Amino acid sequence: MRATGVVEAVRAFTVQAPRISGQGGNLTLARLIPNGATVKAGDLIADFDRTQQLEAARDAKAKYEDLEHQVEQKQAEHRSDAEKRHAALQQAQADLAKAELEIRKGPIISEIDQLKNQAKLEDARAHVASLQKSNNFRDQAEASSIRILELQRDRQKVGLERAQRNSELLRLRAPLAGMVALDNVWRNGSMGHAQEGDQLWPGSPLLRIFDPSQMELMVSVGEPDGAALGPDSKAEVHVDAYQELRFTARFESASPVATSSPGNPIRTFSARFRLDQNDPHLLPDLSAAIDIEAPGGPEGPVVPRAAVRFREGKPTVSRLTPKGPVEQTIELAGFDAAQVQILSGLKLGDQVVLPGVE
């Protein structure tokens, strides 16, 4: 059974132009790894112009350090003022204690002195209460002013971290070890590989990295041929670009659902075959044909699908004899879009005539 498909890498990753926050418009490509280069995980593969982000990071860092200094200065000033207020409150409390002690001398002093001591006691109490109240308000006001500076400082820190993160995002590194394949992008009115100095939209595909040591073939198989696929199914692969090369493959998996395009009654499903060999000619997106050996399947001649016709519901072919073409009833085995395997009715070496050439 023959099917066609495309070579793919088992492990592959598409690298896109980075999306960064706080900046719109295109990104200028400053450096790009050559097509076909081999990289290790973490290697630098592309670099975009980071001038704007580096300037933003430098400005944000300067403002952050200035606000950090202001916060520390304010905290020192407020600590000094708080100590002065605390000392004043302690003095007022000492005066209050002295006034309370003087008021106890009432029985041994004159009435006028007693009234003076009473007035001093009330003044001392009012002074202590006033200082306690004003100190509380001043503590709240100073804490609020420091908090405002801290919020401004933290906002600048967020801006600094964002600029540093954006700057790092503009340096693309390989997520896995493998080979680089540049994608085509729209540049100068045509499609082509990106080059240094090009303007790229954020999120546009830039290149792919794939592991060439593990390749597979994705093929489209007709629904009736699904019975020929099994865990032991093997196949021979022919790459269209290198007809002289042959590779072996083994069946890996298949889609459980067959689909068809509108207006086409033929239903197909996708199947995956793992290639057994490593070869530098095996690259992603190469078209290939695959001859699948059904495990334990019947052996018999194979004829073009166009040679089979149906008479009263039975398949027939025009078998060539010395006396001319003779209609021969056959029994079908497996088939694909191009060929049919004959179970009975023909033997190896028989020739058939295609319609229109009789």
At 334 the pLDDT is: 66
Q: Which residue has the higher pLDDT, 209 or 311?
A: 209
Bridge partners (DSSP) of residue 152 are: none
pLDDT tens-place string over residues 173-190: 999 999 999 998 888 788
pTM: 0.61
Reported as a pLDDT band with limits 50, 70 and 90, residue 76 is very high
At 40 the pLDDT is: 94
- Average pLDDT value for residue range 233-240: 89
Tell me, rounded to whole angstroms, the distance of Cα 135 from its chain centroid: 56
Q: How far is CA 319 from CA 188, 301, 309, 329, in A?
A: 59, 13, 12, 10
The two structure tokens encoding residue 24: 């719109």
Q: State the chain's mean pLDDT as an integer.
A: 86
What percent of the chain is predicted at pLDDT more than 90?
A: 35
pLDDT above 90 for 230: no
At 302 the pLDDT is: 83
pLDDT tens-place string over residues 269-314: 889 999 999 888 888 999 999 888 765 555 678 888 888 888 887 8
Q: In what order do the strands lie in the sheet with 339-344?
A: 302-304, 339-344, 331-335
- Average pLDDT value for residue range 66-93: 90
The two structure tokens encoding residue 123: 């003044």
pLDDT above 80 for 31: yes
Most confident range, picked from 58-62, 219-223, 257-261: 58-62
What percent of the chain is predicted at pLDDT more than 70?
A: 94
Q: Are β-strands 215-222 and 302-304 bridged in parallel, bridged antiparallel, or unpaired? A: unpaired
- Average pLDDT value for residue range 52-81: 91
Measure the CA–CA gap between 358 and 351, rounded to whole angstroms.
Answer: 12
- Average pLDDT value for residue range 206-227: 86
Task: Find out whether 245 and 281 touch, Cβ atoms under 8 Å.
Answer: yes
User: 12-21, 52-61, 312-321, 326-335: which range is least confident on average?
Assistant: 326-335
Measure the CA–CA gap between 27 and 4, rounded to whole angstroms.
Answer: 39
CB neighbour burial string for 195-222, b if at least 16 within 10 angstroms, e if fewer: eeebebebeeebbbbbebeebbbebbbb
Nearest to 287 by CA among 336, 222, 240: 240
Q: Which residue has the higher pLDDT, 265 or 255?
A: 255
pLDDT tens-place string over residues 90-117: 998 898 888 888 878 767 777 787 788 7
At 222 the pLDDT is: 79
3-state DSSP percent of the chain in helix, strand and coil, to 5: 35, 35, 30
At 96 the pLDDT is: 86
